[in-house]
């Protein structure tokens, strides 16, 4: 079985991404699992980003089992999964705009980020009328309102499940479908990622059960944040490996900073792996401040 890391090639990885990748790698290798790399390139792609991301990960000492999997080459796999759900009557067309969804979620009894099932209640005549106005997305007709997962760091977590999008109205498989199908097809039984994604685990685990697979073991790790406590981003300054190199940091310096943030004494990836103890991981965010140039 495998753990995995799955970057989206929209730009360079920042130190928070690199930290999560190192953690995913350590979780997998320390538990005797293989480690897979998946490029989630169904959406926005910046030319050259994939190659740079993989180079940066390798430079930190992360290795992975070949080949690198590209989501853009797996459309037939996603189409097959959708066809199976459609055949079981577990889907419906959705014509709602982003504004309509936002308005419904902000209504007095709405749940933020939760689709209220508006199009699930349309008659066939209404669907035919809406098809003439705009292309439809395809949603899951969920049979539960919530689902429970077990997380190694957060314990038992129960979260809402709504009628999530399976295929966008431009025909592209949605993230929640692709990630579930990929993990199952790639024999990934351990998912390590930032704890901002913990809320998505119940709906993904539920979808996995509908597709006849066992949900993976989860570990949602604390994020790297800026001085305001917001999730770290490129706009925060020198946060990528390239930025830090330009300031005089070596790859070893970056690994050492990540190790310090995890309370580890090791100064390289191999040493961190030997020292790795999931129970000792910090549960609070790492506040990363862009460094000053290194003299010399």
Fold designation for 2-72+223-287: Rossmann fold (3.40.50)
For residue range 80-96, what is the model confidence (pLDDT) as tens digits? 999 999 999 999 999 99
pLDDT at 112: 72
Q: Which of 58, 234, 274, 294 is catalytic?
A: 234
pLDDT of residue 147: 98
Q: Is the pLDDT of residue 291 over 80?
A: no
**Portion of the chain with pLDDT greater than 70, in percent:** 96
pLDDT digits (tens, 9 = 90+) for 1-56: 999 999 999 999 999 999 999 999 999 999 999 999 999 999 989 999 999 999 99
Tokens 């099932």 sit on residue? 117
Alpha-carbon distance 276 to 296, whole Å?
Answer: 33
CA 180 to chain centre: 10
Q: What is the largest CA-CA distance in the chain?
A: 73
Question: What is the CA angle 203-204-207, rounded to 5?
Answer: 85
pLDDT of residue 106: 65
Token digits of residue 253: 């310096």
pLDDT tens track for 201-226: 999 999 999 999 999 999 999 999 99
Overall CATH class of domain 75-221:
alpha beta
Is 234 a known active-site residue? yes
Paired tokens of 146: 């919530």
Q: How many CB atoms lie within 10 A of CB 111?
A: 14
**Percent above pLDDT 90 for the chain:** 86
Q: Residue ranges per domain, the chain?
A: 2-72+223-287, 75-221
Residue 294 has pLDDT above 60, yes or no: no
Going edge to edge, which strands form the sheet with 2-5? 2-5, 34-39, 65-70
pLDDT at position 70 over 60: yes
Supply the pLDDT for residue 100.
84
Return phi, psi of residue 110, to 5°: -80, 160
Cα 176 from Cα 42, distance rounded (Å): 12
Write down the pLDDT at residue 108: 64
Same CATH fold assignment for domains 2-72+223-287 and 75-221: yes
pTM for the whole structure: 0.94
pLDDT grade, residue 118 (50/70/90)? very high
């Amino acid at each position: 079985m495998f753990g995995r890391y799955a970057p989206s090639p929209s730009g360079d990885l920042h130190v928070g991404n690199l930290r999560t990748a190192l953690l995913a790698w350590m979780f997998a290798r320390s538990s005797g699992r293989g480690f897979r790399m998946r490029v989630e390139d169904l959406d926005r792609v910046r030319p050259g980003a994939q190659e740079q991301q993989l180079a940066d990960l390798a430079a930190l000492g992360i290795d992975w089992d070949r080949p690198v999997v590209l989501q853009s080459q797996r459309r037939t796999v996603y189409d097959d999964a959708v066809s199976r759900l459609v055949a079981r009557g577990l889907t419906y067309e959705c014509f709602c705009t982003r504004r309509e969804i936002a308005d419904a979620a902000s209504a007095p009894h709405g749940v933020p980020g939760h689709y209220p099932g508006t199009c699930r209640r349309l008659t066939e005549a209404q669907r035919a009328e809406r098809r003439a106005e705009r292309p439809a997305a395809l949603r899951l007709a969920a049979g539960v309102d919530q689902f429970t997962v077990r997380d190694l760091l957060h314990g038992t977590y129960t979260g809402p499940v709504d009628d999530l999008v399976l295929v966008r109205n431009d025909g592209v498989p949605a993230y929640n479908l692709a990630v579930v199908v990929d993990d199952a097809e790639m024999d990934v039984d351990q998912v390590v990622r930032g704890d901002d994604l913990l809320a998505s685990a119940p709906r993904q685990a539920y979808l996995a059960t509908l597709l006849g697979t066992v949900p993976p073991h989860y570990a949602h790790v604390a994020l790297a944040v800026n001085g305001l406590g917001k999730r770290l981003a490129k706009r925060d300054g020198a946060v990528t490996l390239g930025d830090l190199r330009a300031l005089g940091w070596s790859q070893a310096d970056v690994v050492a900073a990540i190790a310090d943030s995890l309370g580890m004494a090791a100064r390289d990836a191999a040493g961190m792996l030997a020292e790795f103890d999931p129970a000792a991981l910090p549960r609070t965010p790492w506040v990363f401040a862009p460094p000053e140039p290194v003299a010399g």
